[in-house]
Amino acid sequence: MSFDATDGKTRDGVAQTALTLEDNRLAGLVFGQYDQNLAHLERRLQVQATVNGNHIVLKGPKDATEQAARVLKSLYQQVKSGKTLTKGDLDGAIAESVLQGSLFPGADGAKSGFGQIVTRKRGPVKARNAAQDAYLRALQRHELVFAEGPAGTGKTWLAVGHAVQLLEQGKVERLILSRPAVEAGERLGFLPGDMKDKVDPYLRPIYDALHDFMEGRLVERGMQTGMIEVAPLAFMRGRTLSNAAILLDEAQNTSSMQMKMFLTRLGENSRMIITGDPTQIDLPPGQKSGLIEAVGILSKLDGIGHVTFGHGDVVRHDLVRRIVKAYEDETAAKST
């Protein structure tokens, strides 16, 4: 792969960068259908992009045009490897280009971009913003990690991916994925079926993430052999969980006693990840969230990582990010 880029200045003092992508077909995939990726890039970075075949001219503030060029090069590398680009990939490349251009200029390759996880089914999955990057690095460094933040920031999905990676690398022998079975302000009533049928609705998001990172047949085989266990929090009592990657999702809905019980399950050669959104607590009124209490007590201890996501880190859909922001603003207005 080769890039041909030239930089200059227009007479109005606006920077100009010309970039030529080697392969015409791949360039088309980078630019998107009807150049929609370029249009998104123009809106996000406040640059002007002019395309002629596989040649593109970027005009705007110097930092913005350099950043846009880094984004296009990153996207070209992704499509050349066979990846189908999504809007999230574009936003991730934009966020990563900020890191490359300002936080670690001229640094070694280990800090030249966002961290990633690699599984057999999905291949490399890179962080899409600085918060996700900090999260993945915390997961690599610490045996116990707390992740707080709103829906859509990738807390659970990345945690499951990291756990699958540990399993495939042989660093752990099993996965234990759990959630408290708390109804979100609803009354579901009597649920028919056996125990698995009763608890599965609460654990569906974990199953979905697991199938994103592992082949379905391997998931089923793992659950049959006990290598993968998906269970409600109540099933953790009295156990010692060794040689395992352990995930507790929706931890804001744990009580103080439940959280203490879960934390003390950590056994030898295990990793524990605890995720939750403190703004969506479904516990009975007056009951304290075990997640909020645990973060306050434990987050400064050695060996424990703590990552906080904000509304700007939402990667699910831009509208979700704006919805989260609107609720945060409303809460702040009521508290003043």
User: pLDDT tens, 105-160?
Assistant: 434 433 456 788 989 998 888 888 888 989 999 999 999 999 999 888 899 999 99
Dihedral of alpha carbons 139, 143, 149, 151, sign? positive
From 12-26, 191-205, 322-336, the region with the lowest mean pLDDT = 191-205
> Distance of CA 19 to CAs 1, 3, 68, 101, 274, Å?
13, 7, 10, 17, 44
What phi and psi, each to the nearest 5 degrees, are found at residue 304?
-120, 130
pLDDT of residue 163: 95
- Residue 195, pLDDT above cutoff 70: no
Rounded to 5 degrees, what are φ and ψ at 67?
-65, -45
Q: Which CATH number fits domain 3-111: 3.40.50.1370, 3.30.1370.10, 3.40.50.970, 3.30.420.40?
A: 3.30.1370.10
State phi, psi for 148 to the nearest 5 degrees: -115, 150
3-state secondary structure at position 300? coil
Q: For the chain, state the CA radius of gyration.
A: 23
Strand partners, 21: 3
Q: What secondary structure letter does DSSP report for 115?
A: -
Decide if 89 contacts 49 (C-beta within 8 A). Answer: no
Q: How big is the CA angle at 43 (ends 31 and 24), to the nearest 5 degrees?
A: 10
Q: What is the pLDDT of residue 108?
A: 40
Same fold, 3-111 and 128-335: no
For 239-289, the pLDDT digits (tens) are 889 999 999 999 999 999 999 999 999 999 999 999 999 988 888 888 899
Does the reported pTM lie above 0.75? no
Q: Is the CATH code 3.40.50.300 the one for domain 128-335?
A: yes
pLDDT band for position 32 (cuts 50, 70, 90): confident
Q: Is the predicted pLDDT of residue 183 greater than 60, yes or no?
A: no
CA dist 27 to 35, 38, 44, 76, 78, Å?
10, 11, 20, 7, 11
Cβ-proximal residues to 272 (8 Å cutoff; 6+ apart), any chain: 143, 144, 145, 246, 247, 248, 263, 266
Alpha helices in the chain (DSSP H): 24-31, 36-45, 62-80, 87-98, 130-141, 155-168, 195-213, 216-225, 256-263, 290-298, 318-335
Which one, of 163, 181, 185, lies nearest residue 172 by Cα?
163
Residues paired with residue 231 on neighbouring β-strands, in sequence order: 178
Check residue 312 and give its pLDDT.
Answer: 79
* Domain range annotation of the chain: 3-111, 128-335
